[in-house]
Amino acid sequence: MTVKQTIDRRSFLRKSALAGGALAGGALAAPAVLAQAPIVIKMQTSWGAANIWDEFAKDYATRVGEMSGGRLQVDVLPAGAVVAAFQVLDAVNDGVLDAAHSVPVYWYGKNKAASLFGTGPVFGGSATTMLSWFYAGGGQALYDELTQNIMGLDIQGYLGFPMFAQPFGWFKEEVNTVADLQGFKYRTVGLAADLMAKLGMSVAQLPGGEIVPAMERGVIDAFEFNNPSSDRDFGAQDVAKNYYLSSYHQASESFEFLFSKSFLEDLDPDLQAILKYGVEAVSTANTAKAMDRYSADLQTLANEDGVTVRRTSSEILQAQLGAWDELIPELEADDFMKKTLDSQREWVERVSYYELMNSPDYALAFEHYFPGKLSL
């Protein structure tokens, strides 16, 4: 079946359902259930069913269903149900899936600029800063230019849930200096792979579900994924015991909600709006759940699972910034990437200046009321 046939079939099914609803209101008095038949949206994630992020995707589905009064039904499928975790972009573009819940860096192999929408250089802005850039600083238009014009994809994407900075990751032994990192086989994704290579590590790009098996087989000997909950869900604590928080390799990522553009445009305008603004709604819900669960699971890792939690050394953090300094000119050889990085720098210089100048020292207040807990 061709992409066009898939789209035409979708359109036919949707319009047939609407026509059935119209008949239900006529003299034939068809069963009322026909009028209420929802439009089903097949959404696959890039996460396993046990990952907290699968819950996050289902939180979106719940909100869409309720906001649409039951006219939309988002069926959330885990990674591998239809396609592999890194293949969801292709599946949505080809009409195999209606939607996907993923991150842009997972299609980095198609275009390195993907990483700029969540896992690019850190100029001083948080994930919230950069999600704000996406919606108010021109990021959405640049994303659409990349996906729809440069890459020619039939997709519409939105970003939501500004993630907390991702930990440097899991190691079998202590790592305190750049010299300690030399020769590690390290798992990460996107531009972070280029960054870590400049620090002396060899890098394997793997989906989350393949990390622990790769550690057990010796394919890698260190890794990062994202957060204490996801890491614990897939068993990171069973293969390494040194967990380093704080890093500049992926400090401003958000989820990517991908939709088939043809499928989306075939919906009524109010349903299109629900799918779009539902991303904004679930962003807040995801943030609240993440704060609760990530913090609780970090305590469990430390207090029950025998994990030593440390903060990444200032030497390694400074070296990461130096590696970004080397990498940025290489990226800017591409006109689109330079345009995007210029836009981000302009945004961060103004917005983060306000954020940083205005923010009180929260660590000072925390230490005042909970003395001795922080190791900064």
- Burial string for 173-207 (b: 16+ CB within 10 Å, else e) reads eebeebebbeebbbbbbbbbbbbbeebbbebbbbb
Which pLDDT score is estimated for 208? 82
Phi then psi for 227, rounded to 5 degrees? -155, 165
Host domain of residue 85: 3-162+252-292
Domain-embedded: residue 301: no
The answer, yes or no, to whether residue 8 has pLDDT greater than 70, is no
The total number of structural domains that make up the chain: 1
CB 92 within 8 A of CB 260: yes
Give the CATH number, domain containing residue 259.
3.40.190.170
**In the structure, what pLDDT confidence band is assigned to residue 25 with cuts at 50, 70 and 90?**
very low
Domain-embedded: residue 59: yes
Nearest C-alpha neighbor of 101 from the set 278, 274, 290: 278
Rounded to an integer, the average pLDDT of 9-38 is 51
Q: Is 216 annotated as a binding residue?
A: no
Domain-embedded: residue 354: no
Domain-embedded: residue 112: yes
Q: Is 187 annotated as a binding residue?
A: yes
Domain-embedded: residue 366: no
Proportion of the chain in helix, strand, coil states, percent, rounded to 5: 55, 15, 35
Which pLDDT score is estimated for 219? 94
Rounded to an integer, the average pLDDT of 118-133 is 95
Task: Tell me whether strands 308-311 and 155-162 are parallel, antiparallel or unpaired.
Answer: unpaired
Q: Which value, in Å, is the radius of gyration of the alpha carbons in the chain?
A: 22
**In the structure, what pLDDT confidence band is assigned to residue 209 with cuts at 50, 70 and 90?**
confident
Average pLDDT in the chain: 91
- Cα dihedral sign for 271, 7, 135, 54? positive
Q: Is 5 annotated as a binding residue?
A: no
Task: Give the separation between CA 309 and CA 371, rounded to whole angstroms.
Answer: 18
Q: Is 224 annotated as a binding residue?
A: yes
Q: How far is CA 128 from CA 33, 136, 140, in A?
A: 43, 12, 15
DSSP string, 190-245: THHHHHHHHTT-EEE---GGGHHHHHHHTS-SEE--S-HHHHHHTTGGGT--EEEE
The answer, yes or no, to whether residue 143 has pLDDT greater than 60, is yes
Domain-embedded: residue 126: yes
- Classified as helix, coil or strand, 58 is helix
**In the structure, what pLDDT confidence band is assigned to residue 34 with cuts at 50, 70 and 90?**
low
Domain-embedded: residue 262: yes
**In the structure, what pLDDT confidence band is assigned to residue 17 with cuts at 50, 70 and 90?**
very low
Rounded to an integer, the average pLDDT of 40-45 is 98
Domain-embedded: residue 303: no
Which pLDDT score is estimated for 11? 54
pTM metric for this prediction: 0.88
The answer, yes or no, to whether residue 5 has pLDDT greater than 50, is no
Rounded to an integer, the average pLDDT of 31-40 is 71
Q: Is 225 annotated as a binding residue?
A: yes
Rounded to an integer, the average pLDDT of 64-93 is 97
Task: Give the separation between CA 330 and CA 258, rounded to whole angstroms.
Answer: 29
